[in-house]
Structure 1
Amino acid sequence: MKGIMIQGTASDVGKSLVATGLCRLFAIEGLKVTPFKSQNMSNNSYVTINGEEIGRAQGVQAEAAKTEASVWMNPILLKPRSDQQSEIILLGKSSKTMSGSGYREQFYEKGIEVIRSSLEYLERHYDVLVIEGAGSPVEINLKDRELVNMKVAEMADVPVLLVADIDRGGVFASIIGTLELLPLEERKRVRGLIINKFRGDIGLFRDGIQWLEERTGIPVLGVLPYIHHHGIDGEDSLSLQDQMNKHQEGEIDIAVIYLPYVSNYSDLEPFTYEPDVSVRWIKHSSEFGSPDAVIIPGTKSTINDLKHLKDTGLDGPIKEFAEKSGVLIGICGGYQMLGECIIDEAGTDTGSIGEKVEGLGLIPAETIFHPVKETNRVKGSISAKGLKVTSHVEGYEIHLGKTVHFKNDQYFIQLENGQTDGYCNRTGTVIGTYLHHLFHNDGWRNAWLNLIRERKGLEKRTPIYAADLKEDRYDALAAHLHENIDWPLLKTIIYDKEKV
C-alpha cells in the first residue's frame, strides 16, 4: 500500500504532530489521506459519528486530513484504569479489562488480526496512509510481541521516517542507538530522518546533518524549528499542561483539579484560545488559592480519583468554594463526584462489586455504575433556570455510570433526543454534565466566561471561534512541514521506493 510510517526515538518527540501535518499536506494536494495508529494508549479519546471510541490523536489527524474519523484509523485503544490494568477498546467498543502481562499473552494474535483487517479496509478507501508508531521501536523487553511499530510497518509494507527531538538533548545518540538496536531488515525500512524541535541557527547544525547522513546512510529529510503555541490537540495531558503553563497571564483564573486518571482533557483546550483566561492545574489543597472558577474534569476511575481528592485534602476547599457561590463545573467523572454518593454496582469502575463511597454532596443526586458503557454524540440546548444564557451545544458522552437526580427540574441541557443532561443549581454557579467538549462550543464558552467577567467587573467579550482557529493551525502546521522538509524526496520515498 502507499503510505509512510512515523516512528520516534522516544515518546513525545513529535510523532503525532508530524503525522497531523502530513495528513493536511496530502489533503491540500487533493489526495484521500487517512491517519492510522494500530494501538493507542490514552484516556483522551474521541467519539466517532457512529458513537464509537478511538484515540483523540487519530480523531484530530482525521480532521487535518479532511475526512471523517472511523474505528479503522485506531482499531485498538488501551485506556488505563490503574497502574496495572487497562480497558481494551476494540474497533470502537469496550471489550475487556486486562493487565499488561495478560494483554501480551492473550491478545497478540487477535491484535494482529484486527490490525490487518483495518489496514486492508483503509487501503481500499484511501490513496495514502500516514501511520503513527508509539514510543520507541526498540523497546527490547516488548519487541517480540509489539503491535504498533516495526510489525505494523511490515504488515503495511511502508517505509519509515524516524523522528528525534533535539530539544531534549542527545539527538545523535538517540538516532544512532535506535538504528543500531534495530535488526537489519527493520533498519532497511528507515528511509528518512527528521530532527524536531530545533532552536537557534540552522547553519550551526549543518555539520551534524552531514555526519548523520554519512554515519547512517539515511537522508535527513528535514530539521523542524520548534513551534511555540501550535494549538493542535495533544495526545497526553503533559502537552496540555505545557500549553497551560504558557497561558497564565489572563485576568480570569480557572483552576482545574488534577486527577491521576484524568481523561478527555481536550475539554479544556479552548481556554488556551482566550487571551484573558489563565488555566492552571491544582494538585494539592495548598495550591487552591482564590480562583474565579473551578473545573473537575473527566476521569477513567471516578471512585479512585475521588479518594485521591480526599487524600490530598482538596475535597474541603472545593466544597467551601461552592458553598460561597464559587463557579464550579464537573464534567463526566467530575460531575459524578459532585453528587451525594457513588455506587459501583457492577464493579466496572473499581473492580470491586457493590463498593459505595460518599461524594462531595454538592448536587442532590447519586451515580450507579452499570456494566455497559454509553458512547454517543449528542446535541441540545442549555436552558437551565439558574443561568442567564441560552445556547445550542453539541459534544459527546463516554461514561459507565448513570446519575439519578433527586430534583428533576434542575437539569443543565435539554437534549434533542428528548432526554436531559446534567444539573445546574438555582444560581447557575454549580454545574455538572456528561457532555465532553462542552467548552468547544464557542457561543456557550463565551457566554459562561462573560458571566465570570461580569462578576469580576470586567468588560464582556465577543466569541472566539475555535474551529476557525483550528483549521488555520492545521494549515500553518502543513506549511511549516512543507517549508522545512524535502517534500519531493518524501513523496519519492512513498511512491517510487526503488528510486531511493
Structure 2
Amino acid sequence: MTGARKGGGLLVAGTTSDAGKSVVTAGICRWLVRQGVKVAPFKGQNMSLNSFVTREGAEIGRAQAMQAQAAKAEPSALMNPVLLKPGSDRSSQVVLMGKPVGELSARGYHGGRQAALLDTVVGCLEELRGSHDAVICEGAGSPAEINLRRTDIVNMGIARAARLPVLVVGDIDRGGVFASFFGTTALLAPEDQELLAGYLVNKFRGDVTLLEPGLDMLESLTGRPTYGVLPYQHGLGIDEEDGLRVSLRGTVRESVVAPPVGEDVLRVAVCAVPLMSNFTDVDALAAEPGVVVRFVDRAEELVDADLVVVPGTRGTVKALEWLRERGLADALARRVAEGRPVLGICGGFQVLGERIEDEVESRAGVVDGLGLLPVRVRFAREKTLARPVGRALGEPVEGYEIHHGVADVLGGEAFLDGCRVGAVWGTHWHGSLESDGFRRAFLREVAAASGRRFVPAPDTSFAALREEQLDRLGDLIERHADTDALWRLIEGGAPAGLPFVPPGAP
C-alpha cells in the first residue's frame, strides 16, 4: 500500500444513525495509516453539538477531529465543510467551512440551501483526494432517506458526484440487520445501487459461524458481499455526534471506574442541560482512576456529588430555565453556600454569572443568571473560535473556545479567561481537563474542598488513552474485516456490473 496512487476513496454509510459509521471510519483510517497510507477522514455534512476548533480557527465536528487523529492528520475545515448545530427541534446554525453563516429551519435547509452546497462539499473532497492516498468518508443517518435524496450531499449525493464506492454498516445488536441491509439497497435508485459495493456487520455477539449462512443468503439476494463482521466490544465509545455518553470508559448514565489510588473515590455529577454541547469535556475526568462521572437531571442527584459540572450548551437561556424548573438552580446555590465545588464550562459558565444579555441565540434580552460568579455576559453576533494556551493552578493548559457570549468578569480570581470564587470555577475553555497536570491539580482542589481522601493517579495520560482507543479501532478492522477487499474498493472503486435489486424482491 505504500505505493498507493493519490485519490482513493470510500464512503462508509449506515442502515441507521448510530450504526457505527464514526467508529468504522476511524478504524479504517487507523488501519490504513499503519500501512503507510496517507489518509484523511471526511464528512460533507454533520449535525452535532459536539464540535472542535482547528488550528486555523475553523469549527468542525468533534467526530471528524477524532478521525483525523486516527489518521494522524491535522484536523481541517476541508474534512467537515458543513456543520449543523441544532438550536431547537426545527432550526440549526449552519457552519460553512468552519464559520457560522446563519440560522436555517430544516425546511429551509432541505428546500434549497443544501443542494447549493454540493459544489463546496465536492470541491473539499477533491482537494483532500488530491493530497492524500485515500479519503474515508462518513455518511449521515441512512442513505435510503428517500424523502431527502434530491438534496442529499452527504450520502449517495456525494458518492455519485465523486464516484465513491459505498460500504453500508449495520448494527446487528439492534436486530433486523439483514432486512436493513436488503431494504437499504432496494430503496436506492439504480444509479446509486451501482456504487453500493457491500456490507459490514457491526456489534456482533456470539459464534460468527451461525451468522455465515445469512451472509451467504444476503449475497445471493443482492449480489453484494459482506466485508467483515466486527465483534461487540465495550468501551469503544469515541467523541459522539449526538447522545449522552462518557466516551473513554463509560456508558450512557455512569462511567466505569478504575480502582482509586487513594482511599476515596470522587463523584462527579454533570447537569444534563438542554442542547448540551461538548459534553466530551468530562471524558478526561472519567478516564481518571477513582472518578465516577454521571449525567443527572434531578436536584437530589447533586447531594452526594463531590463536583458538579454545568457543561456547555447551544441554548444558554433555555438551560438556565431548565435548571430553575427542576430545582437544580437552588441545589447549586446551596452547594456554593456550603463551599462545595462547582465547575461551569462555556454555556455552563455563563449561567453561573449575574446577568445574560442575549439578542443573538435566544433573543430573550436581559435575563438574570444564577448569581454564583461575578460575571456579566453579552452575546455577540460574531462567534469566538480560538485555541487558547495558558496556565492555571500552576500547570500549563490548552483548550478551545466556541461561543457567542462575551464575559465581563467583575471580580474573583482569574481562571482560564474566566474566574474562580471559592470552590466555584467558570471558564469558556473546552478541553482544558485533557491537560494532565492541570486535571490532577484541579482534582486535588476538588478533593480538598469535598473532604475526600482522593489522590489523582500520577501517570494517567489522556492522550495516551485516546491513542490506545484508536489503536483498538484499527485492530477491529485489521482482525475482523476483509482488508484486502477493502483496499481494492478504496483504490479501484465499486466493482462493475453490480446487479439492481428492485423493491419487494424476492
Q: Shorter-chain TM-score: which interval?
A: over 0.9
Distance, in Å, in 2 between the alignment partners of 1:493 and 1:328 is 51
Q: Which residue of 2 aligns with 1:327?
A: 341
Secondary structure of the corresponding residue to residue 200 of structure 2: strand
Matches within 5 A, 1:41-440: 41-240=47-246, 243=251, 245=253, 247-249=255-257, 251-344=265-358, 347-352=359-364, 355-382=365-392, 389-407=393-411, 410-413=413-416, 421-425=417-421, 427=422, 429-440=423-434
- The answer to whether structure 1 residue 458 and structure 2 residue 454 are counterparts is yes
1:245 Cα deviation after fit: 3.3
Distance 1:444 1:484, change over 3 A: same
Name the amino acid aligned to 1:258: A
Name the amino acid aligned to 1:325: G
- Taking structure 2 as the reference length, the TM-score comes to 0.92
For the Cα contact (< 8 Å) 2:268–2:305, is it kept in 1? Answer: yes
Distance 1:113 1:237, change over 3 A: same
Secondary structure of the corresponding residue to residue 103 of structure 2: strand
For the Cα contact (< 8 Å) 2:237–2:246, is it kept in 1? Answer: no
Secondary structure of the corresponding residue to residue 270 of structure 2: strand
Distance, in Å, in 1 between the alignment partners of 2:369 and 2:419 is 15
Q: Which residue of 2 aligns with 1:40?
A: 46
- Taking structure 1 as the reference length, the TM-score comes to 0.93
Which structure 2 segments of 5+ residues have no match? 1-6, 259-264, 497-506
Secondary structure of the corresponding residue to residue 173 of structure 1: helix
1:108 Cα deviation after fit: 2.7
Distance, in Å, in 1 between the alignment partners of 2:140 and 2:162 is 16
1:272 Cα deviation after fit: 2.3
For the Cα contact (< 8 Å) 2:15–2:180, is it kept in 1? Answer: yes
Distance 1:498 1:303, change over 3 A: closer
For the Cα contact (< 8 Å) 1:133–1:149, is it kept in 2? Answer: yes
Matches within 5 A, 1:472-491: 472-491=468-487
Q: Which residue of 2 aligns with 1:471?
A: 467
For the Cα contact (< 8 Å) 2:257–2:286, is it kept in 1? Answer: no
Distance, in Å, in 2 between the alignment partners of 1:54 and 1:294 is 28
1:151 Cα deviation after fit: 0.4
Distance, in Å, in 2 between the alignment partners of 1:412 and 1:176 is 55
For the Cα contact (< 8 Å) 1:233–1:269, is it kept in 2? Answer: no
Distance, in Å, in 1 between the alignment partners of 2:282 and 2:476 is 26
For the Cα contact (< 8 Å) 2:43–2:137, is it kept in 1? Answer: yes
Secondary structure of the corresponding residue to residue 243 of structure 1: coil
1:490 Cα deviation after fit: 1.0
Distance, in Å, in 2 between the alignment partners of 1:370 and 1:381 is 26
Distance 1:237 1:391, change over 3 A: farther
Distance, in Å, in 2 between the alignment partners of 1:107 and 1:254 is 42
1:450 Cα deviation after fit: 2.4
1:17 Cα deviation after fit: 0.3
For the Cα contact (< 8 Å) 2:239–2:280, is it kept in 1? Answer: yes
Distance, in Å, in 2 between the alignment partners of 1:246 and 1:5 is 33
Which structure 1 segments of 5+ residues have no match? 383-388, 414-420
Aligned length: 480
Give the fraction of aligned pairs with identical amino acids, expressed as a percent. 40
1:237 Cα deviation after fit: 3.0
Secondary structure of the corresponding residue to residue 237 of structure 1: coil
Distance 1:459 1:116, change over 3 A: closer
Distance, in Å, in 1 between the alignment partners of 2:31 and 2:61 is 21
Distance 1:460 1:22, change over 3 A: closer
1:456 Cα deviation after fit: 0.7
Distance 1:108 1:234, change over 3 A: closer
Per-residue CA distance 1:213-238 (angstroms, 9 max, x = gap): 11211111100001211253222233
Distance, in Å, in 2 between the alignment partners of 1:356 and 1:206 is 62
Distance, in Å, in 2 between the alignment partners of 1:351 and 1:169 is 44
For the Cα contact (< 8 Å) 1:453–1:460, is it kept in 2? Answer: no
Instruction: Let me know the Cα RMSD of the aligned residues.
Output: 1.6
Secondary structure of the corresponding residue to residue 161 of structure 1: strand
Higher relative contact order (CA 8 A, sep 6+): 2
Secondary structure of the corresponding residue to residue 92 of structure 2: strand
Distance, in Å, in 1 between the alignment partners of 2:441 and 2:489 is 50
Distance 1:498 1:189, change over 3 A: closer
